[in-house]
Amino acid sequence: MAELTYRAAVSRGIAQEMRRDPSVVFIGEDVAGAGGVFKTTAGLLEEFGPARVVDTPISEQAILGAAMGAAMTGLRPIAEIMFADFFAVCWDIVVNQLAKSRYMTDGQVDCPLVIRSGNGGAVRFGAQHSQSVENWAMAVPGIKIVAPSSALDVVGLMAAAVRDPDPVLFFEHKALLATKQDVPDGEIVDTLGTARTLREGGHCTIVALALMVPRALEAAERLAAEGIEATVIDVRSLMPLDTNTILTSVASTGRLFTVEENPRLCGWGAEIASIVADEVFWDLDGPIVRITTPHIPLPAAENLEDLAIPSVDRIVDEVRRAMT
Amino acid sequence: MAELTYRAAVSRGIAQEMRRDPSVVFIGEDVAGAGGVFKTTAGLLEEFGPARVVDTPISEQAILGAAMGAAMTGLRPIAEIMFADFFAVCWDIVVNQLAKSRYMTDGQVDCPLVIRSGNGGAVRFGAQHSQSVENWAMAVPGIKIVAPSSALDVVGLMAAAVRDPDPVLFFEHKALLATKQDVPDGEIVDTLGTARTLREGGHCTIVALALMVPRALEAAERLAAEGIEATVIDVRSLMPLDTNTILTSVASTGRLFTVEENPRLCGWGAEIASIVADEVFWDLDGPIVRITTPHIPLPAAENLEDLAIPSVDRIVDEVRRAMT
Amino acid sequence: MNAVASREAAYGQHPPVLPEPFDPNMDQAAIPEDVRLDMYRKQHEIRQLEKRLYDLFLQNLVKGTSHLAIGMEAIGAAFGAALRPDDYSFATYRGHGHTIARGVPPEPIIAEMLGRATGLLGGKGGSMHLTSVEHGMMGSYAIIGAHLCIANGAAWSAKLRNSGQVAVAFFGDGATNIGAFHEAVNYAAVYHLPTVFVCENNLYMEYTSIGQVTPVRNPAADRSPAYGLDATIVDGNDADAVYLAAVAAIDRARDDGGPSIIEAKTYRHGGHSRADPGTYRPDDEISAWMEHDPIPMYHQRLLRLGVGEAQLTEIETSVAAAIDAATEAAKAAPFPPAEALWTNVWADGGSQWRN
Amino acid sequence: MNAVASREAAYGQHPPVLPEPFDPNMDQAAIPEDVRLDMYRKQHEIRQLEKRLYDLFLQNLVKGTSHLAIGMEAIGAAFGAALRPDDYSFATYRGHGHTIARGVPPEPIIAEMLGRATGLLGGKGGSMHLTSVEHGMMGSYAIIGAHLCIANGAAWSAKLRNSGQVAVAFFGDGATNIGAFHEAVNYAAVYHLPTVFVCENNLYMEYTSIGQVTPVRNPAADRSPAYGLDATIVDGNDADAVYLAAVAAIDRARDDGGPSIIEAKTYRHGGHSRADPGTYRPDDEISAWMEHDPIPMYHQRLLRLGVGEAQLTEIETSVAAAIDAATEAAKAAPFPPAEALWTNVWADGGSQWRN
Ligand SMILES: Cc1ncc(C[n+]2csc(CCOP(=O)(O)OP(=O)(O)O)c2C)c(N)n1
Ligand SMILES: Cc1ncc(C[n+]2csc(CCOP(=O)(O)OP(=O)(O)O)c2C)c(N)n1
Ligand SMILES: [Mg+2]
Ligand SMILES: [Mg+2]
């Protein structure tokens, strides 16, 4: 048991899998010699050498294409897209190639790979380096998606992602990199497609992801002090989606709140809201409320960005308003 | 008044605007000499000449970049992305540049342009040439989105899109190109952000877009014969979204059905469902039901594709099942 | 290829590009007779298959779109003969020929075009995505550029696995203007990958002549200095010329000599796709290229080299018989069952996205 | 630039790249004294501004990231002097210098870095997106490649409007490996656009030496044949050399002579961004480039050309005073009001997405 940062958990998870399986290789921009611009991959080059840990040119399409072709032919690559915003320059490989090749070939093509990326805001990087794009991917059948909120989940879900036979997008939240957690020693392997209930409360269900998870938890504590007991669920995996955990909770609490960092429209919370409004409609005791970043690009100025992304205060206010 | 195909309506709408405003220019692959691979732009080169109607190399990023830079500096370009699936090779220009430049510069940058694209399936083109990607765009603040379902709307919304001072994505449905409609002579200018109620019925509200509109209408007629009277709304514009029309209707009928061609997750219908489940929750008399393509890539074989995309039969069945 | 300047008046930016005469020295090329006969057979297999697909389309049995390579058969045939069975091929939507050239039988190809359950892809992929991993045919890709990057991945994996395998990526002249082309060739050069980039320059990107939208005369070859690579330009309608270039590039790649670019000049006899009559092409350009047809030329060469007419006729007729049989079998096959809609999104065989 | 082979042993794939000596003939270049003094001032404006930004960052007043161009000032200064007021500049996230070089005053730049309401972008864009349309500074773009394509659009519009305007796009060595670079330069060549592509080759893409990930020695210049263009390579630390190349390329573009590529060799004194100490660079490479500093060199040249020390000191001190005043004003400015969050998503000034 040692205290681990979310940042260090990334390289621990990757190293765990690279030690286990020689077919795991890792490529990206400035990931080897420099250990990554977020220092999430420090030490991998030193341990696994330049054949398995590779610095690439600024060529995102070539990077993901190389990862895909290698995955089709016996390797299990991990590729880094430095900032999730950059998926826009290589989106074709993700949504048109990786996501569809198995189906189009009726199962002939395997793409066991992981694409890691620094996702999300609250770091004052401005509109082109702060987006939460997990819902871009959720709209496309054929790719799995995880977005861990803690160091422990980073290690375990990284292992699960690398071992999964399908392409997995692994979203690391930039604003969580410095957070710490006690993580057990030894091998850790988690399961994709499983949400985690972090807090039990009978009055309402709050569903959150990544950076929104600690904020939702803190909000729940404050709401409890006011007599509103919330269940808080960390979705963790958007594809596959653990609808059981969510539906069961909402069926018992009767109220659903989603806390989403993405700009509002077509966020993952919209999908969950629509599932709930269909499947447990008769259990609902009131409106479904989504707490999201407004539908605007993210501003750079600290005070403005803090107003944009759902804060603990805003979560508390919106839940209180809706529950009373 | 003359009968016009959806296909011919595209060039009519563009020509109407190019005659009115010399700053309107049009670029794309095989759009000039060949009149477009769908023949939607036939005759434009002949009327407006090679300076204003330009065939480009296969360089989608360069095409949209050129359109953006020209829009920033006094022109009103229309650019074609042949198949909407190809947005994935130039998505950066759309979501990170066009959508954000005005906000990031606090209003300094204007991008009055239109990007037209052949969207949707039911034409046996397979998974990489059949996607409905309007919801990819809906997830990104800063771009307007229209998807007409009729020849008349194509002309009027094209004019509105070209005259709009913001970037507009204009989705033309490939399976509607051959459909015909009587369209008045003379200038036609419609309004972005307005849905249209095509049928009034008191029992439920069916919201549809593009190819799903005629199918929803036919389904409504068949349901009427069974005693289920549906209001059918053509959303037409996803950004801005005419929530008034939708909320008012659902508040009175008490039931909402969305009919979406996109694979289910994070479709535009999910967003509408979440708005309805929040804002008119107390008016709902039953679950919100989304009728969508399953969350799979589209198969090429005719019989499989027909099973995938919502059909009139399926709409009738799902509404009947939910209403009785 | 010599642009006929005098025609500029008539054709503006778009003068006819006429083929060079076939190189007589190719008769003497040191290519074993069995290889030549194999390439002759493969060219016939490709052409007869594609002619059949066109007939089926006219009978409205082929839905959607399809892109034929009639006139371009020599390239696929030559690479089919030059590649090792475990090498990797990556093709575009114009990939029927490259698929059959790797040894895939015609029946599942025709069945796929007809949307049948027995199709190479169970009917789920269609004309633009022919793939047969067991034959090293790693896919046909319909969005321009991506597969060049993906081919690098197969080459990289072969290099790491020390398997000696090579990855070949076929693409068109028009594809050289897209960003992924630049990223892919550059990436292959940086890592010295065993990737062979083969440009099938048929002079047109869909309906637009390549010269109109490209600032260099040889869209692939003239880009090679940008990556520190040499390029080879060959007559893509002469199977022997393509074969020699293919063997050289494949051997180099196998010996860790890095990537190559080959630009093969060729021409499609028909339009870009089934929807296109190809009327934008000048008549004398079409007629000159029709005379520069790879198959009759190769037939003559084999006769010159002493192969008997009877043997060549036998090849031609046995291919015809095989295509006929394959067509009948494909037509008799059932359409995919409804359950097929739900299979093979994921490696577990299913399409479940929730519990 | 001469790669020092003997060092390969020590530095592996990453030998130090040392600067060529300044070209003594540049003293004789026919550049008016007022232009030279303007370039001297601009270089000081850029450096003193960026040093101030660095201090403010150390005081934790600048949030987020920032990319300084200290050591690279000559390029921005020379283009600032060579461009017509109505020409268009497109820069990267490393764009502070190019912004001030177009005449944007320092106060709104500093205020933007401090996230103030008086910032050039109202605090909404931040360090990586400096833009001042009224000064022809059409934006700083933080995702590599896009702005090269966008610059073509401004050039195309200028050409259609017969305005004689030129678009200049600045980018780094690392950017030459991305697809959008290929599409943009190719597109400009096809349409003969008045776009000037300026590669600021500072030898590194972030933390990786460009030689390690690029198959040609001159990442921009060696790509030019792929587009039928000639390229110019200049000492990017000699403002006069850059100025002469800039004027030549800009004049050509203005006279409908088409696009150009200029590769300017330079070096950043600091790391890639505020987070980076730049330790991956060999010491002798750093020290050699520190001695090849554009500003003292230019100071000496002006003295040789007879400009008085006093005049140069006056320029330096007046710039310092302006930066001080701007800093104080920026620090005193308010943070953006909450309402600013909701403005300027759309042309109507608002952010409404529904009725
Ligand atoms: C990214 C992308 N843009 C556009 C298209 C549409 N398209 C399909 S084939 C084609 C022409 C390709 O020309 P070329 O590369 O010469 O190949 P050919 O068809 O001649 O074999 C185009 C533009 C596409 N499939 N993908
Ligand atoms: C598409 C994309 N990929 C990666 C990055 C991350 N990134 C920012 S700057 C940089 C290095 C750029 O190097 P170069 O082009 O030489 O410019 P320099 O920073 O040296 O001025 C990288 C990789 C990015 N911003 N955009
Ligand atoms: Mg071609
Ligand atoms: Mg650099």
Q: Pick from C67, C93, C143, C144 the residue to mutate for probing ligand 1's pocket: most ligand atoms within 8 Å of its CB.
A: C144
Is C204 touching ligand 1 by the criterion CB < 6 Å? yes
For chain A, positions 106-135, list CB contacts with chain C under 8 A: 106-110, 112
What is the dihedral angle through the alpha carbons of B103, B107, B111, B112, rounded to the nearest 10 degrees?
Answer: 120
How far is the centre of ligand 4, averaged over its atoms, from the C-alpha of A8 (Å)? Answer: 28
Strands D2-3 and D17-18, by their bridges, are antiparallel
Reported as type and span, the H/E element at residue A251 is helix A243-253
| Closest ligand 2 atom to D272 CA | 19
Please give the Cα distance from D46 to D97 (Å, whole number).
5
DSSP character for B96? I
Strands B196-199 and D208-209, by their bridges, are unpaired
Please give the Cα distance from C266 to C99 (Å, whole number).
19
User: Over the stretch D282-296, which tens digit does the pLDDT of each residue have?
Assistant: 999 999 999 999 999
- CB of A207 within 8 A of CB of A273? no
C7, C18, C72, C125 from C3: Cα distances, Å? 9, 7, 20, 39
Active site residue B60: yes
Please give the Cα distance from A215 to A222 (Å, whole number).
11
Contact B124 C115 (CB under 8 A): yes
Give the active site residue among B29, B60, B80, B134: B60
Is A89 touching ligand 2 by the criterion CB < 6 Å? yes
Q: What is the model's pLDDT at position A5?
A: 98
Task: Tell whether B290 is within 8 A of chain C (Cβ).
Answer: no
Does the pLDDT at position D3 exceed 50? no
Query: Which of D176, D182, D187, D222 to probe the C interface (max C CBs under 10 A)?
Result: D182
Q: How many CB pairs under 8 A join A and C?
A: 166
Phi and psi of B284, rounded to 5°?
-75, 135
Q: What is the model's pLDDT at position C10?
A: 60
Is D144 touching ligand 2 by the criterion CB < 6 Å? yes
Is D204 touching ligand 2 by the criterion CB < 6 Å? yes
Does the pLDDT at position D7 exceed 80? no
Q: What is the model's pLDDT at position C4?
A: 36
For chain A, positions 278-297, list CB contacts with chain B under 8 A: 278-279, 281-282, 284, 286-290, 295-297
Nearest CA to ligand 1 atom 9: C206
Q: Which residue has the tokens 């002097």?
A: D81
Chains touching chain C through at least 3 C-beta pairs below 8 angstroms are: A, B, D
Nearest CA to ligand 1 atom 12: C205
Amino acid at D326: A
What residues pair up with D234 in beta bridges, in sequence order? D264
Task: Tell whether B93 is within 8 A of chain D (Cβ).
Answer: yes
Q: What is the model's pLDDT at position A128?
A: 98
Q: What is the model's pLDDT at position C276?
A: 87
DSSP character for C30? -
Give the three-class secondary structure for B59: coil
**Chain B closest CA to C344's CA: distance in Å?**
9
- What are the tokens at C146? 């991506």
Residue B94 pLDDT class (50, 70, 90 cuts): very high
Contact D216 C223 (CB under 8 A): no
User: Over the stretch D170-213, which tens digit does the pLDDT of each residue have?
Assistant: 999 999 999 999 999 999 999 999 999 999 999 999 999 999 99
What radius of gyration do chain C's Cα atoms show? 20
- What are the tokens at C239? 């199977």
**Chain A closest CA to B142's CA: distance in Å?**
7
Does the pLDDT at position C6 exceed 60? no
User: Over the stretch A36-82, which tens digit does the pLDDT of each residue have?
Assistant: 999 999 999 999 999 999 999 999 999 999 999 999 999 999 999 99
Peptide bond into A240 cis (omega under 30): yes
Reported as type and span, the H/E element at residue B71 is helix B60-72
Long-range contacts, C289-293 (Cβ 8 Å, 24+): C289/C18, C289/C19, C289/C71, C290/C71, C292/C19, C292/C22, C292/C237, C292/C267, C293/C71, C293/C237, C293/C269
Please give the Cα distance from A130 to B33 (Å, whole number).
42
- CB of D201 within 8 A of CB of D266? yes
Is C122 touching ligand 1 by the criterion CB < 6 Å? no
User: Over the stretch B281-290, which tens digit does the pLDDT of each residue have?
Assistant: 999 999 999 9
Q: What is the model's pLDDT at position A31?
A: 97
How far is the centre of ligand 2, averaged over its atoms, from the C-alpha of A29 (Å)? Answer: 9
What residues pair up with A100 in beta bridges, in sequence order? none
DSSP character for B92? I
What is the dihedral angle through the alpha carbons of A138, A83, D128, D211, rounded to the nearest 10 degrees?
Answer: -140
Q: Which residue has the tokens 């990231």?
A: D65
Q: Which ranges constitute the DSSP H helices of chain D?
A: 8-11, 33-58, 73-82, 96-101, 106-113, 146-160, 179-190, 239-254, 283-291, 294-304, 309-332
Q: Count of H helices and E strands in chain C? A: 11, 10
> B111-141 b/e with 16+ CB inside 10 Å = b?
bbbbbbbbbbbbbbbbbbbbbbbbbbbbbbb
What is the dihedral angle through the alpha carbons of D149, D151, D152, D157, rounded to the nearest 10 degrees?
Answer: 140
Length of chain B: 324
Please give the Cα distance from A234 to A242 (Å, whole number).
10
Phi and psi of A119, rounded to 5°?
-115, 155
Contact C179 D182 (CB under 8 A): yes
What is the dihedral angle through the alpha carbons of B268, B269, B273, B276, rounded to the nearest 10 degrees?
Answer: 70
Pairwise pLDDT comparison (D329 vs C12), residue with the higher score: D329
| Closest ligand 1 atom to B29 CA | 23
**Residue partners of A257: CB distance under 8 A and separation at least 6:** A204, A205, A206, A207, A230, A288, A289, A290, A291, A315, A318, A319, A322
User: Over the stretch C210-251, which tens digit does the pLDDT of each residue have?
Assistant: 999 999 999 999 999 999 999 999 999 999 999 999 999 999
Strands B2-5 and A114-119, by their bridges, are unpaired
Does the pLDDT at position A108 exceed 90? yes
Is C312 touching ligand 1 by the criterion CB < 6 Å? no
Active site residue B203: no
Which among C61, D161, A300 is positioned nearest to B69, based on CA atoms? D161
Nearest chain B residue to A130, by CA: B96
User: Over the stretch B228-264, which tens digit does the pLDDT of each residue have?
Assistant: 999 999 999 999 999 999 999 999 999 999 999 999 9
Is D140 touching ligand 2 by the criterion CB < 6 Å? no
Strands C208-209 and C204-205, by their bridges, are antiparallel
Please give the Cα distance from C158 to D308 (Å, whole number).
66
Q: Is the Cα dihedral D96, D97, D100, D101 positive or negative?
A: negative
Residue D9 pLDDT class (50, 70, 90 cuts): low
First to last CA, chain B: 43
- What are the tokens at D86? 């109505």
**Residue partners of B192: CB distance under 8 A and separation at least 6:** B144, B146, B157, B160, B161, B164, B168, B237, B240
User: Over the stretch A245-298, which tens digit does the pLDDT of each residue have?
Assistant: 999 999 999 999 999 999 999 999 999 999 999 999 999 999 999 999 999 999
Is D96 touching ligand 2 by the criterion CB < 6 Å? no
Q: What is the model's pLDDT at position D124?
A: 98
* C260-273 average pLDDT score: 96
Contact D124 A304 (CB under 8 A): yes
DSSP result, A76-127 = EEEEEEEEGGGGGGSHIIIIIIITTHHHHTTT------EEEEEE--SSS--T
DSSP character for D238? -
Q: What is the model's pLDDT at position B42?
A: 97
User: Over the stretch C75-117, which tens digit does the pLDDT of each residue have?
Assistant: 999 999 999 999 999 999 999 999 999 999 999 999 999 999 9
Please give the Cα distance from B153 to B52 (Å, whole number).
24
User: Over the stretch C153-209, which tens digit does the pLDDT of each residue have?
Assistant: 999 999 999 999 999 999 999 999 999 999 999 999 999 999 999 999 999 999 999
Q: What is the model's pLDDT at position A160?
A: 98
**Chain C closest CA to D227's CA: distance in Å?**
6
| Closest ligand 2 atom to D67 CA | 19
Closest to B295 (Cβ–Cβ): which among C129, C206, C353? C353
How far is the centre of ligand 1, averaged over its atoms, from the C-alpha of D184 (Å)? Answer: 18
| pTM for the predicted model, two decimal places | 0.98
Please give the Cα distance from D237 to D243 (Å, whole number).
11
User: Over the stretch A149-176, which tens digit does the pLDDT of each residue have?
Assistant: 999 999 999 999 999 999 999 999 999 9
Which residues are within 5 Å of ligand 4 (an ion), measured at CB? D 172-173, 202, 204
Compute the half-sphere exposure of residue A88: CA atoms within 13 Å on the CB side of its CA.
30
Q: Which ranges constitute the DSSP H helices of D129-282?
A: 146-160, 179-190, 239-254
Residue D14 pLDDT class (50, 70, 90 cuts): confident
**Chain A closest CA to D307's CA: distance in Å?**
43
Identify the burial level of B312 via C-beta atoms within 10 angstroms of its C-beta, where 0-12 means exposed, 13-18 middle and 19 or more buried: middle
Please give the Cα distance from C197 to C121 (Å, whole number).
26
Angle at the Cα of A136 (from A131 to A142), degrees rounded to 5? 140
- What are the tokens at D154? 């401004």
Residue D10 pLDDT class (50, 70, 90 cuts): low
User: Over the stretch D249-291, which tens digit does the pLDDT of each residue have?
Assistant: 999 999 999 999 999 999 999 999 888 888 899 999 999 999 9
User: Over the stretch D130-165, which tens digit does the pLDDT of each residue have?
Assistant: 999 999 999 999 999 999 999 999 999 999 999 999
Q: What is the model's pLDDT at position D277?
A: 86
Is C173 touching ligand 1 by the criterion CB < 6 Å? yes
Shortest-distance ligand to the CA of residue C177: 1
Give the active site residue among B17, B129, B172, B305: B129
Contact D208 A55 (CB under 8 A): yes
Q: Which residues of A are catalytic?
A: 60, 129
DSSP result, A124-187 = S--TTS----HHHHHTSTT-EEE---SHHHHHHHHHHHHHSSS-EEEEEEGGGTT-EEEE-SS-
The ipTM of this complex is: 0.98
User: Over the stretch C128-152, which tens digit does the pLDDT of each residue have?
Assistant: 999 999 999 999 999 999 999 999 9
Please give the Cα distance from B283 to B279 (Å, whole number).
9
